[in-house]
Amino acid sequence: MKEIVLIYLDRSGGLQKFVHDCKKYNDSKQSYAVYRFVISINPSDIAELDATLGNYILHNPIKAAEIFQSVCFVAIKTLLLIEHLQTEAQISILLKPTHLPPLPSYVLSLSAFPFNYTSHRFYMSEGIVIAMGIVTKYTQGARFLCTEETCPFSEGRFRYIRVHLPGATESATVRNDFVCSLCSSPLQEDMKFRVLGDKQIVEMIDAKVLNALKGYSNNKSHFRIQAFTVFLR
């Protein structure tokens, strides 16, 4: 599947964009714990090249991102694209599908029962934005060091990297109770390597609310319309 990923990136122009993004990181004077890449993908094209990889992208995008991560790491090391990159864990891949199959199972509808949205795969959702918060910062990635000075992981290495994953809370990336796996000493964040991104919280409501506002009756004596929160990162 790694070979298929490389073939797809080459054919789709994604490899050229990836090399360009690497150059921006390499030319930057800022130090990074995590190098984040957004890769646009066409699920249909990938499924034609390899059905298993296409299925991963549609139904297990975190696993698919790991495959892309491995390919990108090898490409960076082989082509010497980012001088200061040390470990594969420093690469964060965000897969951005151009579309999803036009099937009901890929549509997130909070007005239909049962909900049954337990998988971490892609869904489409359509609604009306009724409120928007201000744009704030969140931690995309951070580097931690062991506080025990005699420990090999107390300096120099990128052994402990925390990367934000879709659906995770802020505390999953940055908090003060992480411990070293080698000596069990507390870990402390190396603040100069923190990578920040923008996030915005919006309140949405199902588009079916328009029928209620128009006075549309579906012969149900009682119904309720409830907003849901979306995090844009």
Dump pLDDT digits (tens) for 21-70.
999 999 988 878 899 999 999 999 999 999 999 999 999 999 999 999 99
The pLDDT assigned to 209 comes to 79
Within a domain: residue 146?
A: no
- How many CA atoms lie within 13 Å of 23's alpha carbon, on the beta-carbon side? 6
The pLDDT assigned to 226 comes to 82
Within a domain: residue 141?
A: no
Within a domain: residue 97?
A: yes
pLDDT single digits (tens) 79-114: 999 998 989 999 999 999 999 998 888 888 776 665
Within a domain: residue 114?
A: no
The domain that holds 49 is classified in CATH as 3.30.1640
Residue carrying the six token digits 């509808």: 109
- Backbone CA torsion sign across 43, 45, 51, 53: negative
For the chain, how many structural domains are there in total? 1
Within a domain: residue 132?
A: no
pTM summary value: 0.85
Angle (CA) 85 9 90, round 5°: 20
Task: Band the pLDDT of 222: cuts 50, 70, 90.
Answer: low
The pLDDT assigned to 167 comes to 80
Within a domain: residue 185?
A: no
Phi, then psi, of 179 in degrees rounded to 5 = -130, 155
Average pLDDT of the chain is 88
Angle (CA) 126 129 134, round 5°: 130
* Residue ranges making up the domain that contains 9: 1-105
Within a domain: residue 201?
A: no
Within a domain: residue 27?
A: yes
